[in-house]
Amino acid sequence: MENIGFQMIVDEIFTRLPAKAIGRFKCVSKNFHRELSSHAFEMMHSHRIGNSLQKKLLSFKDTSIVVDNILGGNLDVVTSKTISFPNNVQPTFLRILSSFNGLLLVCNEQICCELILWNPTTRRYKFLSDDYFNNSHDQNSDTGEMYFDESNDLKVLHIRCYRNVVTARVYSRRRESWRTINFLSVNNYGSSNYSWSPGIYFGKTIYFMVSNYWYPPGERNIFAFDVLPETFRILRFPESMQVNPCQGHFLTIAKKPHLIVVGKSDKLTANLLKYEEEGWIKVFAFNNPCVVDYVYRRQRTNIIQNNKWLITSIGGDMVEVDLINEVLKYLQHVDNYNGPKGTLFIETTISPID
């Protein structure tokens, strides 16, 4: 009975506590530490935290990393706190490739594309690099995402584009090793003409958007990576969204896949679309999209600030939009989004080390 009672407390009470409180309870006893460190507990805790609106925004400043609460779709600057990255790497050298269940996949460009799994809440981290990474990271070409496989092993998918060739590799947290997997038989998507979006994980599939800015102008596709068979396939870009050129950026809102499309015809446009019933539906158009210049880019320190959002990059430029009340209310329910200078994440106890 005592074991049943303790297990009920763990499942029904501890899984609802903040991640930092879990860390303190781990120090109470060996029994607490064992139960609260189990994979089953970490998954249940992250699921319940992920269903709430308790999102954090991690932002890279020039010399610091700042974590803010998101309230009502905007920043709560009163609760801002500064954290440091492992080995005190300067934020200017860091790029976030993925945010997944409280873990961040971060690239350290100072050391030739060094990849790190990092939990900014517990401050635990794991270096993933090996001799595969012998060239610097290209933020417009290289991309990645994380997922759990059938055996609940955390996997990292990394896509490397170099000299017209796409190389895909998968890292296993349990085995602590990389292995190469088959990509499609076409090589032109590894060209510097193409730009890869950050990935988004939904329904056992990771989606990327690949756009061409040069020749032929405006070509774009959606790449899908099915995580169970570990195979790639190409989805044609919806004809109703043909804008030349354009860049797409995936995100999830209220657990549903969405796509931000920034394009230019007569003028710069930015639209949010939702995937529903095997088709893309336009939700709204962002107000006054504009490319920010280099000076303002250095001054603009968050992807969410003063009812403005840095939503994506196009041709290497950052784009800022104004948010009206309806848009701001809708974006309160964003689950996962990587911006040019930061990312949304949830505070969990999931460890980068198995």
Domains and CATH numbers, the chain: 38-345 (2.120.10)
Task: Report the run of H or E that residue 68 belongs to, with start and end.
Answer: strand 65-71
Sheet with 103-108, strands from edge to edge, namely: 94-100, 103-108, 114-118, 125-127
Stretch 223-250: mean pLDDT: 79
pLDDT at 198: 85
Stretch 10-32: mean pLDDT: 79
Instruction: Check pLDDT > 70 for residue 258.
Output: yes
CA-wise closest residue to 50 among 335, 250, 331:
335
Q: Where does the pLDDT of residue 20 fall: very low under 50, low under 70, confident under 90, or very high at 90 and above?
A: confident
CA-wise closest residue to 335 among 53, 47, 16:
53
Task: Report the run of H or E that residue 296 belongs to, with start and end.
Answer: helix 294-299
Beta strands of 102-240 (E only): which ranges? 103-108, 114-118, 125-127, 143-148, 154-162, 165-172, 177-181, 194-196, 200-202, 205-212, 220-226, 231-236
pLDDT at 1: 39
- CA dist 267 and 56 (Å) reads 33
- CA dist 196 and 207 (Å) reads 11
- CA dist 148 and 208 (Å) reads 18
- CA dist 276 and 278 (Å) reads 5
pLDDT at 112: 66
Global pTM reads 0.86
What tokens were used for 178? 């990389």
Whether the bond into 120 is cis, omega within 30 of 0: no
Q: Where does the pLDDT of residue 74 fall: very low under 50, low under 70, confident under 90, or very high at 90 and above?
A: low
Q: Which of 45-49, 164-168, 305-309 has the lowest mean pLDDT?
A: 45-49
pLDDT at 47: 75
